[in-house]
Structure 1
Amino acid sequence: MSSPRVLSIQSHMVSGYCGNKAATFPLQLLGFDVDVMNTVNFSNHTGYPSWTGERATGEHLLQLYKGLQTNGLVEYTHILTGYIGSAQNLSAVTEIIAQLRTHGDPFFVLDPVMGDNGQLYVHSDVIPLYRKLMKYANAITPNQFEAEILADKKITDVKSCLEVLDILHTTGVENVVITSVSLLPSDVAAHAAHWHPHHHHHHKDEETTEPSMYCVCSSKGDQDETKKVFAIGFPTYDGYFTGTGDLFSALLVAWLDEALVEAQPPAKAGSAYGLGSKEMHTPLVRACVKVVATMKAVVLRSYLAQMGITSGGQLDRTQASSAAVIKRCELRLIQSKKDIEQPDEQGVEAVELSWIEKGKH
């Protein structure tokens, strides 16, 4: 059987791990042939004090696609898109994806890279185009800010997060993963669909008023199928990280592909990830647990390397303006080969969320 083959359309850096540089190695390790189409070609990522290079135009991207098509090279099993940049490029990519769908049924993972931490780093004219492109996507991986932009609704708690997921599903996308959402652990516990010992044991911790970070994933199939939503908590570090979203989306392509293949025989029920044996896990949450497990390992390894350069202290933002410091803050991707191939799921727990809030004990 031939390897799955993915067309990855996103940015390229000569040095460092962002965009296609963060996506290609993990996908290849996990058995994918990867064709890369670069939306920018920069010397390094834009977190450095300076960079050189050029941005592709929409015409340039269409020309590349035409060359592939002429030579019969457009039989893809998967499509992954990341940073596209301009509205012109996004229109071209939408056209490419529409054409690729005439050559089969590639599974399309869309990372709507628009901004973070409340700030857009693309022109706002791309927002309606992303909403249109979503109808082609099998899965989308926005961060909290991007999910809020696409749904035109703020996430302030679990309830509003569930509402945003509903809005995003209405575009027709089956799998929605908000890669990082800030939520109160007590709020997550109050909306947990199933009681299990973990909640009881950590009840005091969950009363904290400090929010934690979660990956929240939601899958919705046919019209009569109910939506299943899970929250997966993960630790955060006061460091400098670039390319984590690109790595997340690439890992999701691979692990969701495996989970969907495994789900084709009679659906498996299992006791993994803290739920009782009678509870069904969706392919999406099984994939997301593996993705988060790898992300935890890569980010921790990268953080420990950063701590090493700051003599055990926190990374001062003024230091992060130095090219020499930022270079040493690049993701430790190659060093994480084992964590990419065999994610350690120990301690990575998926909690199913329900609309019904339970009373606090």
Structure 2
Amino acid sequence: MWGRSVASMNRVKFIVVLICFTVVGMVGGGWASSVNAAPVTGRLTTAAGVAVPGEVLVWPLASRTLATGASHRVKSDKEGLYRLDLAVGDYYFLAQGEGLFAYYGRNPVHIPEEGSTLNLSLVPRPNDVPSQEMVEIDSGVVGRVTTAGKPLAGAIIFVYPDLSSRLKGAGLGMSAPSDSDGFFELPLSTGTYYLLARKRNSGQSIGPLAAGDFIGYLPDNPLVIKEETVARVAIPMLEVPHRVEKFAASLFGGSSVAGTVTDLDGNPVAGIRVLLYDEATMLARPLHVSQPTDAQGRFLLSFADGGTYYLVARAELGGTPQPGELYGQYNENQDHALTIKEGEQRQGVKLVVEEMW
């Protein structure tokens, strides 16, 4: 009798300890990811700004595909408002509605501790694909790019074999600019590809998008090209809003570098882009590229993480500097490095450019 009572008391103590441990663990954040989660809120609208209901889909940066397996899915209310909680990190955001689709133009986007507000503009899924008679290649993709239902000329389609490049830069290859009917063609071998379309009013093929430029993402990405077949697709384009320049200081994160580019005589140089790298050789694709410097030579770069970075100012993008090109590195110290703390907004950074020979 006494032995059974002792055993019962021990079991009660064990249960009490287990409950206390569980409560402490939950309060301390051991299991409750929501304790450390950052709130993400926003609204789904059409390109004209009309609120629409839909669903937001989120993939972490380490994802191998954006076709399936979204880590988070949340439906908006009838006014297009949504909210979800995410761990601090980088993510791809897409959205869908009835006959509508959206790819967030700043993807992948960094979500900080304090959270973010991300509004997504949805565009109609087009079905105006080129006819079979227009196909002149043996393998690859032909398509049409449109904006607000009308063909868009001058758009370049970029091809990426996977997500390793974050769907930025020149990728595996690119098409010639779309014609007046929005038509493009791109020979491709058998494989799986992501297609993004961009139109820069500056006429350049690479570099950051500015207000008034266009971006488009194939809703059916990734696209599978089979042997000796030609896929026919339609890519909807969305104009980059003017507010993108208003929020340039925090567009890609809470850390930033601002300064001026001058020539050897100290005169400001306009039209120069500043490139941000995280490795000293500066041979890989830059992490970020600024808009062209203004008449006072001013530039601004925003990014998410603190760290050691390397800056280059140059007139042209892509490849090695050519003779006659204006070019210059950050030279305030011997190793050309610039250390920025996360959340720091460094001002007064100076770069000097000169002609390469």
Shorter-normalised TM-score: what interval?
under 0.3
Specify the structure having the higher radius of gyration (Cα): 2
Normalising by structure 1, report the TM-score. Answer: 0.25
Higher strand share: 2
Q: Which has the higher contact order (CA 8 A, sep 6+)?
A: 1
